[in-house]
Amino acid sequence: MKAVKKISIIIITGILISSFYFAFSQQAGIDAAKLYKQVELFADAISLINLNYIDVIKPRELMYGALRGMLASLDDYSSFLDPDSYKELRIDTEGRFGGLGIEISMKGGILTIISPIDGTPAAKAGLRPGDVIVKIDGEPTKDIQLHETVKKLRGKPGTSVTLSIWRQEKEVLFDVEITREIIEIKSIKEARILDGGVGYIKIVEFQEMTAKDMEKALKEILSKNSKGLILDLRNNPGGLLDSAVDVSEIFLPKGELIVSTKGRNPKDDKEYRSSRNTPYQKMDLIVLVNEGSASASEIIAGAVKDNKRGLIVGEKTFGKGSVQTVIPLKDKSAIRITTAKYFTPGNYSITDIGIMPDISVPLEEKEAKEGEEVKTEELDNQLKAALEAITIKS
């Protein structure tokens, strides 16, 4: 039986190596001979595990483990998604799920909060951009994969999870218990006129309908003789690239460069330009950002800044400037890999750098606690620093 098993492993290994060799030899820029030697090591490891490991490992579990490690070794944003994780990702795009309401990422191999989403349990619990999740329900997060984190944080509404948080700025470690809720994300949280006739719109995430909703809000604001607009992107973790482009072109004249992407493959080198003219392209504009403003938010901030279309006010943004592409596999799993980087119109990379504001003003967002509301006057007071630092032309 052992001989038969060894022969089977040898045959499977040979097929595996041949398949890898054939697949990669078809790709430009791949040294197939060198890769063949490395794939031999992988195949040898599979054979040794099958023959010697104390427990019998299912082939699928073994391959999934290998894929997770391989993708995680590339960068903080690439990952392997098993069928359940891929399903969770698709649920995310629907904007409705049971969870805490935080955008997370691996930053330097550390599980970091990009931003708590406004109005969610995470925001009400006082979590902040840059907080490090050290433990989840007492289990350390060291070497955890993002898909595992999502599974631990998601759950039925009404159930709770305890996070151990390290807050670098205060050098303090504390636990916070958060009760899960149904998270329904509306792209535009607020649109109104501030005292003094200045329009104010807060976007919490970029979704398919964001640009259309934005124009409806702007039409209403203009009808009240607004003197300008404050676009609040604080703690906005991003969203759809196309949505960020659509919102940017509301303010940028036709033909202006919004963002470009550059990748290893020529097909990933793209320029996104404003494709139309709107009534809002001469409106005085201030964009508020902080360290929780990431990805799509940074695209807009970069486009406004480099095109000198308005002023960026607040704090340096997160620095999430890479493009991930999700590619489905045959068994309903998928790989998410970084395929390109974002560059602002001035050809500046956002990755790990972020967008520096034109005017640095600490603007703390006060989030309502359970059963409370943030009063309009309090929000207005938070914006005073920006309005005092800037004269909006009438």
Average pLDDT over residues 274-287: 93
Other residues' Cβ atoms within 10 Å of the Cβ of residue 37: 9
Catalytic residues: 295, 306, 320
State the average pLDDT over residues 251-272: 94
Highest mean pLDDT out of 96-100, 103-107, 291-295: 291-295
Determine the pLDDT at residue 117: 82
3 state SS of 390: coil
Tell me: pLDDT of 250 over 90. Answer: yes
Contact predicate 113/103, CB 8 Å = yes
Query: How far, in Å, are 42, 65, 83 from residue 329 at the CA level?
Result: 20, 15, 9
Q: Which residue has the higher pLDDT, 34 or 218?
A: 218
Q: Measured between alpha carbons, how far is 367 from 75 in angstroms, rounded to an integer?
A: 32
Domain segments of the chain as ranges: 2-57, 83-183, 186-322+339-389
Please name every residue paired with 98 in a beta bridge, in sequence order, or none if there are none: 182
**CATH 3.90.226.10: does it fit domain 186-322+339-389?**
yes
Q: What is the spatial distance between Cα 251 and Cα 228, in angstroms, rounded to a whole number?
A: 12
CATH number for the domain formed by residue range(s) 83-183:
2.30.42.10
What are the b/e assignments for 97-107, b being 16+ CB within 10 Å?
bbbbbbbbbbb
CA distance 345 to 343: 7
What is the 3-class SS of 293-356, one letter each residue?
CCCHHHHHHHHHHHCCCCEEEECCCCCCCEEEEEEECCCCCEEEEEEEEEECCCCCECCCCCCC
* Closest to 259 (Cα-Cα) out of 327, 338, 322: 322
pLDDT(379) > 70: no
- What pLDDT score does 388 carry? 57
Q: 222 CB contacts (<8 Å, ≥6 apart)? A: 199, 279, 280, 283
Q: Distance (Å, rounded) from C-alpha 369 to C-alpha 254?
A: 43
Instruction: At 171, list the tokens.
Output: 């050098």
pLDDT of residue 368: 39
Query: What's the N-to-C CA distance of the chain in angstroms?
Result: 87
pLDDT at 154 over 90: no
**Per-residue model confidence (pLDDT) at position 293:** 94
Nearest to 165 by CA among 233, 104, 76: 104
309-336 residue pLDDT tens: 999 999 999 999 998 889 999 999 999 9
Sign of CA dihedral 232, 233, 236, 241: positive
Angle between helices 146-153 and 83-94 (to 10 degrees): 60
